[in-house]
Structure 1
Amino acid sequence: MSITFHSDGSIVHLTNGTISYVIELLDHTYLLHRYFGQAIRAWHGTGVTIPSKRSYTTEYADGTQNLYFDALPFEYPTPGRSDYRLPALTAEGPSGAAVVDLKFCSWQVLPQKPAVPGLPMTFSAPDESETLEIVCSDPVAGIKVYLYYTIFHDLNIITRHQRIENTGKTAIRLRNVQSLSLELPARDYELLTLYGCHAKEANQSRALLHQGVQRIGSCYGSSSPRHQPFFALLQPGTTEQTGEIYGFQLIYSGNFSAAVEKDTFGQVRAQIGLNPDTFTWTLEPGEAFDTPEAVLNYSANGLNGMRQGFHKLIRNHIMPPRWRDAQRPVLLNSWEAMYYDVSLDKIETQAQLAKELGIELFVLDDGWFRAGNDSRSSMGDWTCNQNKLPGGIDRVASIVHAKGLKFGLWFEPEAVSPNSQLYRTHPDWIVHVPGYAPVEGRHEYLLDLGRAEVQQYLLDMLHGYLAGGQIDYIKWDMNRPLTDVASSALPPGRQGEAAHRYILGLYAVLDEITRCYPDVLFEGCSSGGARFDAGMLHYFPQNWTSDNTDACDRVTIQSGFDLLYPQSTMGAHVSITPNHQTGRSTTLDTRYQVCRLYNLGYELDLTLCTPEERDEIARQIAAYKAQRSWLMAGTLFHSQSSDQNCTAWSVVSPDQTQCMMIVFQKLYNPLSSCARFALCGLDPASDYRDTATGKVYGGDELMQIGLTVPLVKHDFTTFCFHLVKI
């Protein structure tokens, strides 16, 4: 791993022996991107061409023939000086014009990775990464920009963020600050994104990149109700195991923008950062603004290579270290068993059955504080309804702990009901625009987390429940988007800061509460996957993947999310059939097999299960526990097949001694041949035994030829192959 400078001071090369990132300094003035991809020993100007002059454009200031800003591959492009493509930074300086001309000042290698104040970010030990700092400035606009590039010793990843300072004597108005901008050479690319909606998250969209700007984003106040803060540019024809990919991800939980521009001549500029449609920020003289950190992931080995790069980064450099290797308990969530109608008798009955089946954690979901059995009241007060639960949460915790189970509790701290004491006392604490009746979502408003007093209220409430040590797990939910986005704590000219300040306030609360209670397992949720992002995983080591627990739909949802997130971060629950969300019926075995490579849980009324079903659940849990450690720590792969009716994914243990492969057959098709799937990540020089059949296969044979799925005349069927090295 090294960051080296060319002897003439015009080139810097970041490499770890696997990837290289090259920046050239043009005339000791402008930063140009020259290369990102597989490692090279050095860069000598390979691939640089001077294109023919385009009509109707401007020329570079020194008069060099055929050189102009609109073709230069800038590292951090700005508008107003002849580059008409997507800018990474747009700011209004003293003149009021949105013109910024950043010029190079200095660069250096830092002794350690700098913090991003108030924001989640990657972390590493000094010997695990190196960081390049580049300083550029525009004295006329009064702007200084610090560009940070971090390379990790064992990852195909560069992370980037910026600090923007006002060095002038008047205020500066930021209108657009992207965390990452990357120039790629003219060639064909496919654009991969993850899109969806509530109960149908993380669908993969893949299409050929065309001329113009293609853009996704969020303006909901949370990261992922419709699109993940992620995209990838793929070599056409890329498969799970082959092909070149550039993956982009933002470590942020609010509004974002991800855009790719392919110009008329095929050159590509890709960016990700804060959504400029919902953001402005005023910097007074001497103030600074820090952008969220962005991740740039290179894979020469297809989607699996990108997948594993993101997984390693999150496990080792984003997730709370306390939970990286910790076993997640098998849980029972009360929601589909009780909904809002909770009682001590129901809780004790469910907890007793859970204990008998081997479940380790009982989670009390919504309803425990409600005045009635619906969502129309009490949110924000967080006082247990003693009529439903005499003795309160302490009593519930004691009942659950007496069964030998851990106890978890559901909260939605960011919301407040109009019918609540908190709202009646502090109506100005909600996000709202004066003069408009605020819009309700699920009979709720959102608290203005940008206000210090709101943050303190939430902290005091959470400390009150957690300080006693009775709660082992918190499910932190957030069930509505931001609307009427304005803060009564901000003046009219700074309302464009409200959405980002909301997220900064959220992070401030999460930072304190998770530091104070490191042994409490926090799970994030936002109506399922509406705020499933790397920023939340900096505080919460796992997230509820989707409110849709249907096994067939979960195959698509989980396959999308696990492109980015390790299996240990994803909650996967077995629920009742017919499924409450879709009405679809699947076997108990299928529902379990779809969940078993992730964080296993159950979300059903155990009293409605037959004795035979409870026996099967007990066997499922025992099998899961026996393999949980290596399944959660192992490497996740997807296998390629021409049969789109089947999906196959597997986990290989860190020492390559075990592999668990699950194949899901959506529909039985009598006209198709049996699907065959090649495995990945095994030791090619060793043999493996199928524990179910006793058959022995070579690791190379399994990876080159694969296993054939049996012919089974049923829809929604799963097949499990457990292979052990001999």
Structure 2
Amino acid sequence: MGIICKNHVFTLQTKHTAYQMKEEGGFLFHNYYGPVIGDMDMSYLVRPLDRGFSGQPQEIVDRGFSLDTRLLEYPSYGTGDYRDYCLHAAYEDGSQVTDLRFVSYEIKEGKYALEGLPAMYQGEEKAETLEITLEDKYKNLQVVLYYGVFENLDVITRACKIVNKGEYKVRLLRAYSMALDFDHKELDFLHFYGRHAMERKMERSSLQHGFQGVESRRGYSSHQQNPFAVLCKPDATEEYGWCYGASFVYSGNFSIQAEVSQADTTRLTVGIQDTQFEFHLEPGECFTAPEVILSFSDKGLGQLSRNYHKAIRNNVCRGKYKTARRPVLINNWEATYFDFTPEKLVAIAKDAKELGIEMLVMDDGWFGKRDSDFSGLGDWFVNEKKLKGGLKNLVEEVNKTGMKFGIWFEPEMISEDSDLYRAHPDWALTIPGRPFSRARHQLVLDFSREDVRTYIFDRMCEILESANIEYVKWDANRHLTDVWSAQLPADRQGEVFHRYILGLYDFLEKLTQRFPDILIEGCSGGGGRFDAGMMYYHPQIWCSDDTDAIERLEIQYGTSFGYPVSTVGSHVSVCPNHQTGRSVSMKTRGIVAMAGTFGYELDITKLSEDDKEMVKVQVEEFKKYYDLIQNGDYYRLTDDGSKSPYVAWEFAAEDQSEALLNVVVLRAKANPMLHTVLVKGLKPDAIYRVEGTEEEYLGSALMNGGYPVPVLWDDYQSIQVHFVEFLH
């Protein structure tokens, strides 16, 4: 396993997969990605054919050799490959052709890191790095391709660095991170689309000739599309078939495109979306393209997901709360919105503590002139008219109840009605002399500017150091428009989108280093920036502003394809639900929220005594099952409920000693059909007992015959079944 180089054939091997490329005549061709193949040179599959209007490089006389038809590892614009490309550069003479040729390679122990960007890190895993250098010798532009190989995770990462080694400035018009070529088109494309309050709905379609893909031009990875996609064979299911995943470790504009060519080959490209992208490289400067996490499974979509779950949970997420148990929290937003007092918050804390909840989070409205969303953002000073006695006194009162304390921030945003905007209107992303767009009555701060970031950082630190604050909810409630920075010259405005994200990462890196014991939960109107890049700084992200348990079944189903449960912020909210008006039992709301980090989003002081008792039971159960839920193998046992009459999912221990089955029946039916769900991840020959009963089942029986779902009365009812290996 690991990286093998033999006669300039590079084979990257993991436990179950192989990725191969080959240098031939100065070009770097892609050979293969799939199950293990040893060190066999897979270029024997190449069959030269003279295709009309597919030309050759000048030094090639064989008309069967064309860059337009070969599988390429990192295609560039302008040299005869008319398919989608990764690199597009403009030079001092006005030309825009880049001809990349192989220069050298180097194999290194350990996993590469990317300056200023999040990326997978080695941790306790075995990892190696392959660096391959390509160069356009006429313009002295180099591209260093990075490959990280995680043997036990079945993960290969891709990234690259573009270096201007010439004498003149180079303008990058596109700088994608990777391409992956296939010699066929028999593939389905899976992506995860949505909108605010309904994110990451899975959509699957077969590839057709031309382009098919997803992208964001919103400045964030967005609610509307997600920077994770899957290509799979048409017969692939949860448990069967070839599947390829690509997760972009980036939180801004992105593009994931699949193109089927004239020759029925397929090219997948991933990178920063190039609308209003133009990055200048002076001589000696470099540009680093973000990382893509690739994984392959020949055992279906379920195994592909579990590959990503383990990789992100253990080798993307960082810090204390990667492994430490996170507190069960209650957030006051849907309980009070802006209308709260210290007395009200302490009352919520007292009641919550009695039920086993461990942290109170004070949401929006505690700072500046902030009694609605019309004003106050940017003025990160405690509003002592609302918080009489000050923040420190409130935190101490909450701590006296035995509860931890957390607080909400929206650091990237600014209100026009704020002291900060009146003092520094140029700090907002607007274009002088023309009207601008608002969203949620707010503008976006120019986080590409270090002076802006420094000011906000200092204000946040002053607040966080003023009291015993142990959690931050980081929110961002609008997307970017009017993107122009007062600090950059006219010819470099194409750098603002990317510099904004680099500035955000710089801010978050400093914040996590300054406060390593604070749990930071990401949020962007819920799931508007739910990506692996943010998970490098936020071990959990508020999954969606939609807290309706039945809608969350669909949202969390789609999310599970690329992201682990440990990153999914999920709460029990009040009924009727504030987004849909639907009423669902407290039991079902709890079971659905347990497929995440778990907490509450309601006024607990107004719950009935029966519901309070249910909260107490839920909190105890979540704590008991915490390790199984957060670190176990996750199985989707049904679809998202669009076809199945119920939604079922499961957590199984890695050692197969226990499993937690969850089922939500969507609609009650008269004279109902009977349903049986197949359990996964058990030992075939072991006996499992249902916790709290005398029921015993053979593992093979549960996996092949299934567990009978009881007939449940009323809509949206649920069961949760804990199977434990029974040792006689």
TM-score, normalised via structure 1 length: 0.97
Give the deviation of 1:677 after TM superposition. Answer: 1.8
Letter in 2 for 1:385: N
Q: 1:654: how far off? A: 3.0
Q: Equivalent of 1:532, from 524, 530, 533?
A: 530
Q: Which residue of 1 aligns with 2:684?
A: 684
Structure 1 position 51, deviation (Å): 4.6
Residue 693 (structure 1) shift: 4.0
Check conservation: 1:640, 1:678, Cα contact below 8 A. Answer: no
Q: Note the C-alpha offset of 1:97.
A: 1.9
Number of equivalent positions: 723
Structure 2 match to 1:466 = 464
Q: CA deviation at 1:712?
A: 2.2
Give the SS at the match of 2:133. Answer: strand
Counterpart for residue 306 of structure 1: 304
The 3 A distance-change label for structure 1 pair 529 and 220 is same
Distance 2:180 2:672 in 1: 43
Of the candidates 25, 30, 39, which is equivalent to residue 42 of structure 1? 39
* 1:551 corresponds to: 549
Q: Deviations over 1:253-280 (max 9, x none)?
A: 1110110001122100001110011311
Distance 1:302 1:640 in 2: 14
Q: Deviations over 1:672-725 (max 9, x none)?
A: 632322111112221111125421111111112211212224221212111111
Code of the aligned partner of 2:539: P
Number of the residue aligned with 1:63:
61
Within 5 Å, which residues of 2 pair with 1:212-231?
212-231=210-229
Matched, 1:33 2:41: no
Cα distance between partner residues in 1 of 2:122 and 2:467: 31
Q: How does 1:376-525 map to 2 (within 5 A)?
A: 376-468=374-466, 470-525=468-523
CA deviation string 1:315-335 (max 9, x = no partner): 121101422221111110000
CA distance in 2, matches of 1:372, 1:219: 30
Contact kept? 1:224, 1:533, Cα under 8 Å:
no
Is 1:659 the counterpart of 2:659? The answer is yes
Q: Letter of the aligned partner of 1:314 in structure 2? A: I
Find the aligned partners of 1:716 and 1:152 in 2 and give their Cα distance.
42
1:720, 1:489 → 2: CA distance?
56
Give the whole-Å Cα distance in 2 for the aligned partners of 1:578 and 1:245: 40
Tell me the secondary structure at the aligned position of residue 277 of structure 1. coil
Amino acid at match of 1:373: D
Post-superposition shift, 1:39? 1.0
Native 8 Å contact 1:248 1:295 kept in 2: yes
Of the three residues 344, 347, 351, the one matched with 2:345 is: 347
Q: Which secondary structure state, in structure 1, belongs to the residue aligned with residue 173 of structure 2?
A: strand
Deviates more, 1:154-163 or 1:666-675: 666-675
The aligned residue for residue 267 of structure 1 is 265
How large is the RMSD of aligned CA atoms in angstroms? 1.5
Alpha-carbon separation, structure 1, partners of 2:280 and 2:401: 55
Q: With structure 2 as the length reference, what TM-score do the two structures score? A: 0.97
1:702 and 2:699 aligned: no
Q: Deviations over 1:404-448 (max 9, x none)?
A: 111000000110110000000111111111221221111111110
Q: Deviations over 1:366-396 (max 9, x none)?
A: 1111525211111101111111111221122
1:240, 1:640 within 8 Å by CA — same for their partners in 2? no
- Note the 1:563-578 alignment, pairs <5 A: 563-578=561-576
Instruction: Tell me the distance in 2 between the aligned counterparts of 1:45 and 1:314.
Output: 31
Greater shift after overlay, 420-429 or 633-642?
633-642
**Distance between the aligned counterparts of 1:321 and 1:470, measured in 2?**
19
Q: Is the 8 A contact 2:377 2:413 kept in 1?
A: yes
- Per-residue CA deviation, residues 102-141 of structure 1 (Å, 9 max, x unaligned), is 0000011023333211111111158610000000100212
Asked whether the 8 Å contact 2:110–2:126 carries over to 1, the reply is no
Structure 1, 92-101 or 400-409: larger mean CA deviation: 92-101
Aligned partners of 2:563, 2:213: CA distance in 1, in Å?
A: 22
| AA partner of residue 308 (structure 1) | R
Whether the 8 Å contact between 1:597 and 1:651 is mirrored in structure 2 is no
Counterpart Cα distance in 2 of 1:58 and 1:577: 65
Please say if residues 54 and 69 of structure 2, whose CA atoms lie closer than 8 Å, have aligned partners that are also in contact.
Answer: no
- SS of the aligned residue for 1:536 comes to helix
* Distance in 2 between residues matched to 1:232 and 1:397, nearest whole Å: 45
Question: Could you say if the C-alpha distance between residues 372 and 457 of structure 1 is closer, same or farther in structure 2, counting changes exceeding 3 Å?
Answer: closer
Once the two structures are TM-superposed, the CA of residue 589 in structure 1 deviates from its matched residue by 0.8
Q: Output one character per residue of 1:41-70: Cα deviation in whole Å (capped at 9) or x when no partner.
A: 122336513253222231343211411111
Q: Secondary structure at the match of 2:290?
A: coil
- State whether residues 139 and 168 of structure 1, in contact with CA within 8 Å, keep that contact through their aligned partners in structure 2: no
Deviation at 1:597, TM superposition (A): 2.9
- Is there any run of 5+ residues in structure 2 with no aligned partner, and where? none
**Local SS of the residue matching 1:259:** strand
Structure 1: where are the runs of 5+ without partners? none
Would you say 1:718 and 2:715 are equivalent positions?
no
Cα distance in structure 2, aligned partners of 1:671 and 1:238: 34
Q: Are positions 1:281 and 2:274 aligned together?
A: no
What SS does the corresponding residue of 1:374 show, helix, strand or coil? Answer: coil
Residue 83 of structure 2 is matched in structure 1 by 85
Indicate conservation of the 8 Å contact 2:79/2:99, yes or no. yes
Residue deviations 1:301-351 (CA, integer Å, cap 9, x gap): 111111111111111211014222211111100001110012011011101
Secondary structure in structure 2 of the residue aligned to 1:293: strand
